[in-house]
Each structure stands twice: as structure tokens, then as C-alpha cells.
Amino acid sequence: MKNRQTHREEDAEMKQRTERRVELMPGRASMAADRIAGAANMRLARPSTRLLRFLSASAPDAVFLADMAELITEARRTVSARSQPHPDYTVRSARPLRVLLLGYTGAGNTGADLRTIGVIRQLRTLFGDGNIDITVFACGDMFDHPVLQSVHRLATGAQYVPDALEQVMPGFDVVLNVEGSTYTSKFSDALAGILIGGVALAAAHGKHAFAYGIDAGTMSVSLQAFSVSQHRGVHITARSSKALRRLKDLGIPAEEGADAAWGYLALSNDGAPSRVTPVMHGLAPGEYVALCPNNPYCWPVVSDVKRAMRLDHAGAQSNERHGPFTFHTWDEARARSFSRYKQAFAEVMAWLVQHGVTPVLVAMEKLDASACHQIAAYLPFPVRVVVRGEHDLQTVARTVAEAKAVITTRYHAALLGLSHAVPTVGISMDERIDQLFDDADLSRWVCHTGDVDLAKRVEYLLTPWIVDGADTLERVTPSKSRVNHRASASPTRQIPLNDGKSLKDAYRELSCVQRKRFDEMGRRLVDTVLTDLDVRFSESKK
């Protein structure tokens, strides 16, 4: 067994290698979790004490949350010691309101970017272009939409996200968390820490802080404790009724809200010159089914600096590596589950072709391209694959919105389908899709990634459009109760009726309710900000 002296020597060597690594580390910010150790547009500088502690920790993500909590506490203490919490508000009306949007923008995640676009448009409508100056926390370089290209990207000299946020807070008046997957450990505790901690830090600095249309799910013990302790002064709106209940059960005050992407109309001329998506090569809208898979089994991403250092020292590679210091969670059981998931998608695609319908795979995030190509490899015929990054945001969104039907594990592909009246089947990997469909009494149209007969369930749900020839939502009705909806022996069996409401009615009602809630979120934001600033815009500016 190694003695304590040996461990100390190893830790010292690891710290020295870490310092060398940070000094040489490029400003890579392709994914939010990687930005923990590399802020956007960073300038190389000597690593901070916090960064070195994070990089040398045995549990880096827990250290990250602790660092955020420490900075929030320090900011509260500093602000409470001042007689005037907002020393520059007296001149606020003489210049634009400075807004920072925290999220996953720029990483090539279509849903995250749709949300950001929705918030930017809403803020400009409410305050007027000349009265607001918007900056986004960029998680990458994929700004392939005019609205995203029209705002500033956060620039900071700090190399560690907690330090970076602390450094820039004095330069903003309002900070919004615009990412949906916030109160959850599904993807990354560190990413959740940026989102939850970022707005808590803003509130601690005396800024207006909002968590805007967020979701809540299962959290680790450390993230839940952090969340419960770091919500003071933050105005939180949840995008589903179950997310709202989850937050309230934790003692976190929140209000009813909506996802910011509900206002996005993919069939407008925003960034796309023609109605027919060029990548379809002649396929007209409604002549194909969009399938939007991912790898639902490789999460969460966790920070493991020592593992990264060992790989780098040996010049070795790992398929599980996500970024400089982060790794996907993976094992043989997950690999087997992913194989069954891919086979189910391939079976559905073969069934579609059998009935004369073209399947198109859509990678809503560049990360999904691998899953799409692996699914395509199961099939004996060529498959069209539309990948974000290879195609811009508008093309990807329209490919989903113009489909005959949508089959998706991606939340915002489901939202695009529902909001554009496209028959949509959700394949849920966590709480998010369940909560989206439950709010509209559409839970019957949700399957789960682990369903043993997943392909048959999807085929059964799409039978009215693929087999029976229905070309609208008018004559198909939802069922409020979740049942074991296996395929019938008769391929033309209709989905049972309940109260006579058609899917078209259900989709329209859901869209109207969600857009109304998003508008109300905007009105509450304006009221909160303007009341505190004692500035009144004319009715024409609202």
C-alpha cells in the first residue's frame, strides 16, 4: 500500500502537470461542461487557485458547486454591506439595459439555440432594440442563425467559469438562465451548476435574475442541496406542471411558465430562402418522416481530470472522452441498451419504407450524428441524414416541421412537431418528454427508450397516417390514460376515441397555452425590471 508521502508526491506531480496543461490549453468551448476549465474567448493567464483546486480534486464537479456557492456567499456579503445595492442605477435610463443570457448557446444543440432565439426576440419586442444590449454565454462557435449572430458573445480573461462569472457580473443589469435542462443531473452537474449558480450569483450581486422556462428532474444529492440553498432572489418559471411541482416540493419558489422555443416558427422565411428544405433533394413537405434519435445511455458527463491526464500522458484515446477533462458514462449494459434502441429505430424505418414513406434521420445536435449513422448502417437501403453543423439551424428545424410525422427522443424536435401540427411520437429518456406530453393529455403518444417492443409501439401509433392514409390530425383522437398500446393484429386498427377531441385540437390548444404562458413570462419580467429601475417605457415600446 502506498504511504502518505507517496500520495503527496503524486498529488504534487499531478498539480504541476495540471498547471502545464492549463497554460497550454486552447480556448476550446465546444461544450458547456468543458468550459468549466476554459471560458469563452479566454486569454491565457496563470491558473487561479479555484481552478487548480478543481483540476486536482478527486470529485471535481462537487468542488465546482462548492466554488460557485462560495462566490455567491461572498457577493451577498459584499452587497449587503453597501448602502446602495445598485450604485449605477441612477443613470440606467440613459443607456440600454445590459442583459446576459446563460445557456447552452453555440454548442450546436438546436433546442438550446431555439430557446435563446425566442428569448432574444421577446426581449427586443418588449424593450425595443435601442433600449437593450444582449450578450450570450457562448458554449461554442455555431452561431448559424441571424438572431444569434446579432448579439454579443461573452468575453472574459478568466479560465474558470465561476471566476469568469464573478468577473463579468458588474457589467450586467439582468441575467437570465435560458437553458431548459437546469434542475437535473441527467447531463452534467457542472453544467447545472453554471445555470443555477450563475443566476444565483447575479441575484447576490443585486442584479435582476431569472430562470426562464426551465425543467426539473432527478438530481444528485450534491446538486439538490446546491439548488435548495441557491435560489434567493431568482425569479423562476417552470416549463411544465410537473417541473413546477418538483421545485415547490423542494421549497424552491417558482411560477408557471413555458419553453421559450414555442414562439419559433420554422416555416417562416427566417434564414431559409425557400419552403422546400434543400437537403430533401426534391421531397416535398409531408412526404417523409423525421426520426430524431440520440444516444440516451451515455449520460451524465462527469469531470475526471486525473483520467484525462493519464490518457494524455500515455498518448491514448478514449471513445468515452467528451472534452479536455470530461467523460461520458458508459459500460456494457448501456452499450446493450443502446444497441436495442438503434435496432428499434431501424425496424421503424424499414416499416416506413415498406409502406412507401421515406424516413429521414435528423441529428438535432452534432453529437447525435454518430447515433444517426449507426442506425443507418443497420439498413439495406440508403438513408438521408440531416446533421446540425453540416446544415444550419433553420434547415434542421424545417426538416422536422415539414415532416409527415416525427419520431423523437429530442425534446425540441417533439416541440417543433407539436407546434407545427405534425403527428409526433416521443421516445422518452427522462422526465422532459413525459412532462411535455402530459400537459396536453397526450401521454399515449409517449414511448420509452427501454420499452421491449419499442418499434411495434411506434408503428401502432403512426398507423393512421402511414397505413390508413390519414393526411391530417382531424380524425385521430388522443387518449388521456397511458395504456399498453401494442400493435393490433389488424394493421388498420384505429387508436381508441375518448372525448372526441382530435389531435389537431389538442396540438392547437397546447401551442396556444404555451405561447400565452411565454408572453406572460415576458410581461412579468418587464414589470419586475421596470419597477425596480423606476423607468417607464411608453406603450409603443411594450
CB atoms < 10 A from the CB of 487, how many? 16
Answer yes or no: same fold for 19-263 and 278-315+324-501.
Answer: yes
Q: Judge contact between 209 and 200, C-beta under 8 A.
A: yes
For residue 276, give the nearest of 171, 398, 127, 381 by alpha carbon.
398
Spans of all domains in the chain: 19-263, 278-315+324-501
Rg (CA), the chain: 24
Tens-place pLDDT, residues 411-439: 999 999 999 999 999 999 999 999 999 99
Q: What pLDDT digit, counting tens, does each position of 21-34 carry?
A: 333 222 223 344 44
**Domain boundaries 278-315+324-501, corresponding CATH code:** 3.40.50.2000
pLDDT tens across 469-509, in order? Answer: 776 666 555 554 333 443 333 333 344 334 556 888 899 99
Task: Give the CATH class of 19-263.
Answer: alpha beta
Rounded to an integer, the average pLDDT of 206-219 is 97
Residue with cell 416549463: 239
How far is it, in rounded angstroms, from Cα 52 to Cα 63? Answer: 11
Q: What is the residue type of 459?
A: E
Burial 91-103 (b: 16+ CB within 10 A, else e): ebeeeebbbbbbb
Least trusted range by pLDDT, from 110-119, 231-240, 477-486: 477-486
Residue for cell digits 427501454? 450
What is the C-alpha to C-alpha distance for residues 384 and 290, in angstroms, rounded to an integer?
10
- The number of helix segments (H) and strand segments (E) in the chain equals 17, 16
386 in Cβ contact with 362 (< 8 Å): yes
Say how far apart CA 146 and CA 349 lie, in whole Å. Answer: 34
Stated length of the chain: 542
Is a pLDDT exceeding 70 seen at residue 39?
no
